[in-house]
Amino acid sequence: MDTTTIMVGYASCGIAAGAKDVRKLLEAKAAENGARITIKQTGCLGICYDEPIVEVHDQAGRWVYRKVNERKAERIFNEHVLGGKPVEGFLFHELSAGGREPKQYVFRQQQRIALANSGYIDPENIDDYIARDGYAALRHALLESSPDTILQTIIDSGLRGRGGAGFPTGQKWSLCKKSRGDVKYLICNADEGDPGAFMDRNLLEGDPHAVLEGMMIAAYVIGAREGYIYVRAEYPLAIRRLRIAIDQASERRFLGRDILGSAFCFDIKIKEGAGAFVCGEETALCASIEGERGMPRIRPPFPAEAGLWGKPTNNNNVETYANVPWIVRHGADAYKAFGTGKSTGTKVFSLAGKIERGGLVEVPMGIPLREVIFDIGGGIPKKRAFKAVQMGGPSGGCLPATLLDTPVDYESITATGAIMGSGGMVVMDERTCMVEVSRFFLSFTQKESCGKCTFCRLGTLRMLEILNRICAGEGREGDLEALTELAGLIKSASLCGLGQTAPNPVLTTLKYFREEYEAHIKHKQCPAGVCKNLITFHINADLCTGCTACVKACPVDCIRGQKGEPHTITLDDCIKCGSCREVCPTDAVYTR
């Protein structure tokens, strides 16, 4: 009997978009139609903007449906699954077996290594992972190779840590391997705290076994027998799937004692973090696992020499470990075929903010920013102008349109004043105030400072006070010089990466958007029309069609006018929330 498999995207993004109801309907329909129809769940394909995603796998191939609600799901089931005719209007054509030529290509410029299985397998079914060569790299390492050989493969591949700093992974493993100690530990840092970043979450929800396998291979190389995954408690689905994956791997003898009949023994525990941003720093992370307050320690000694409980410890992030099985299976040369000389392989990015196709992408290192944001991400909604992209989260920097042709690699991004970071890209359009952006990110890092270093604790507070004044229209001469001086002191006198990079958003916006700061201070104006103390909202009568969209959006009922005729805003009642400007279809609402 011919069978049809229906796969429902069931990561956090899909569930939030309504996949739970879609799945329930499809399961009910399948139950009515016998055993030839199988319903499965899968992770995120990366096209979060088109969730919920439903795939139909039949004799003709794979068919991917986008933005599926219950009504669409019923049609897909009746017309395609039962009737054999795909519903053309609902298809994501680039990934589907048939149908018309896609209007845009999202995956053509991508290369999926870390994300190879995400969206293709059931993350809660180890057999799905094994069917796609899962644990083959571990088997090869344990039964056909040696720790030294595997280590050399990782060194030759050029893989660098994907958590932000880009330290060579093989070198880090080598340092820990050479460290003397009767006990060694391995840590996976899944404490993803950057605003706008969701790479680790999607990887853990979509392919947890790849991360586990990468950890096991790393543990085999350095000689560790115990590992920890430090994951933020705000990721309940990722944690649940990790627990399931650990249990399944243990049952299949991929974890525990004498793995695959070898002498290698290794166990993994999950440590749920409380969401402290500073615990992304490896020594603070070690302290948190130990039950202490998450605060950084003086280095040296580095964790490779004395980390968790004073023992040699290796720490990499989720994406780094997810690359390892692919490298071991395909070889160092195959990995180096992607990327650039010093930045090999691929990098996963989350696209967020003012962008048409927000979601997850994996691209070869060296691809220009322009291609990521415009070709893959679809550019800016509502035909507005691109203004900046924030890279590296609150520790990174804001890059203007003049730098859109910058290659995405560690050296090129660092040269701009930003950092690669863990992979968050927050895109901003012409209606973004860069002074407010720097104030927002500095507010975040100031709150997240552990307080150990005086310059980080108080210096960021002083900088934030200046930025608050500027945004409130109370900036004064000398503020920009004070910000620059404080930034230098904080960067040079802070113990860990949080303080050393906290001023980056301010420094890059001062470098590339200084005129906006000067407009706030000298002319008491916010060019982007964001800072409330410096703007008033108005309606252009020549552009207003009287559609009443602004009236419906206004929370204080301060917009007057007859339907079909130009409207006006009562300034005394306006709270300057900007809702009217956001919903206006003709851009009739403006600020001055």
Mind giving me the DSSP string for 303-344? HHHH-GGGS-EEEEEHHHHHHHHHHHHH-HHHHHTSB-SSSB
Q: How far apart are CA 343 and CA 159, in angstroms?
A: 8
The pLDDT of residue 1 is 40
- CA 299, 502, 461 angle in degrees (round to 5)? 110
Indicate the Cα dihedral angle 393, 397, 398, 404, nearest 10°. Answer: -100
CATH-assigned architecture of domain 4-95: 3-Layer(aba) Sandwich (3.40)
Q: Distance of CA 41 to CAs 27, 77, 82, 361, Å? A: 11, 16, 20, 21
Domain layout of the chain by residue ranges: 4-95, 126-335, 346-429, 434-522, 536-591
Give the residue from 496, 410, 415 showing the smallest Cα distance to 455: 496
What would the pLDDT profile of 143-163 be if each residue is shown by its tens digit? 999 999 999 999 999 999 998
Name the H helices within 424-536.
434-448, 454, 460-471, 479-493, 497-501, 504-512, 514-522
What would the pLDDT profile of 265-287 be if each residue is shown by its tens digit? 999 999 999 989 999 899 999 99
Is there a contact between 70 and 76 (Cβ–Cβ < 8 Å)? no
- Whether 120 shows a pLDDT value over 60: the answer reads yes
- Whether 561 shows a pLDDT value over 80: the answer reads yes
Q: For residue 305, which amino acid is it?
A: E
CA atoms within 13 A on the CB side of 321: 31
Q: Distance of CA 219 to CAs 69, 102, 454, Å? A: 44, 44, 37
Is there a contact between 377 and 427 (Cβ–Cβ < 8 Å)? yes
Residue 257 has which token pair? 């004692």
The residue-averaged pLDDT of 397-419 equals 94
Give the residue from 72, 3, 73, 79 showing the smallest Cα distance to 34: 3
Q: For residue 288, which amino acid is it?
A: S
The residue-averaged pLDDT of 484-488 equals 97
CATH 3.40.50.280 at 346-429, yes or no: no
H/E element holding 261? none
**What is the biggest distance separating any 2 CA atoms in the chain, rounded to whole angstroms?**
81
Q: How far apart are CA 119 and CA 166, in angstroms?
A: 27
**Could you tell me the CATH superfamily of domain 126-335?**
NADH-ubiquinone oxidoreductase 51kDa subunit (3.40.50.11540)
Q: How far apart are CA 52 and CA 119, in angstroms?
A: 12
Q: How far apart are CA 197 and CA 358, in angstroms?
A: 11
* Beta partners for residue 359, in sequence order: 351
Sign of the Cα torsion 123, 124, 130, 134 reads: positive
The residue-averaged pLDDT of 555-559 equals 96
Which of the four CATH numbers 3.30.70.20, 3.40.50.10470, 3.30.70.1710, 1.10.3720.10 does domain 536-591 have? 3.30.70.20
Q: pLDDT grade, residue 8 (50/70/90)?
A: very high
The residue-averaged pLDDT of 410-430 equals 92
The residue-averaged pLDDT of 244-270 equals 97
The residue-averaged pLDDT of 63-68 equals 98
Residue 383 CB neighbour total at 10 angstroms: 8
- Extract the runs of DSSP E, i.e. beta strands, from 194-255: 226-232
The residue-averaged pLDDT of 490-503 equals 93
More confident residue, 261 or 3: 261
Q: pLDDT grade, residue 101 (50/70/90)?
A: confident
- Extract the runs of DSSP E, i.e. beta strands, from 130-261: 185-190, 226-232
Residue 321 has which token pair? 């470990």
Is there a contact between 9 and 44 (Cβ–Cβ < 8 Å)? yes
Is there a contact between 184 and 135 (Cβ–Cβ < 8 Å)? no
pTM, entire model? 0.94
The residue-averaged pLDDT of 383-403 equals 93
* DSSP 8-class letter at 102: P
The pLDDT of residue 195 is 84
The pLDDT of residue 395 is 84
- Whether 504 shows a pLDDT value over 90: the answer reads yes
Q: pLDDT grade, residue 112 (50/70/90)?
A: very high
* Beta partners for residue 590, in sequence order: 538
Which of the four CATH numbers 1.10.8.870, 3.40.50.720, 1.20.1440.230, 2.60.40.1190 does domain 434-522 have? 1.20.1440.230
* Beta partners for residue 589, in sequence order: 539
Give the residue from 592, 471, 581, 472 showing the smallest Cα distance to 536: 592
What would the pLDDT profile of 337-360 be if each residue is shown by its tens digit? 999 989 999 999 999 999 999 999
Is there a contact between 569 and 558 (Cβ–Cβ < 8 Å)? yes
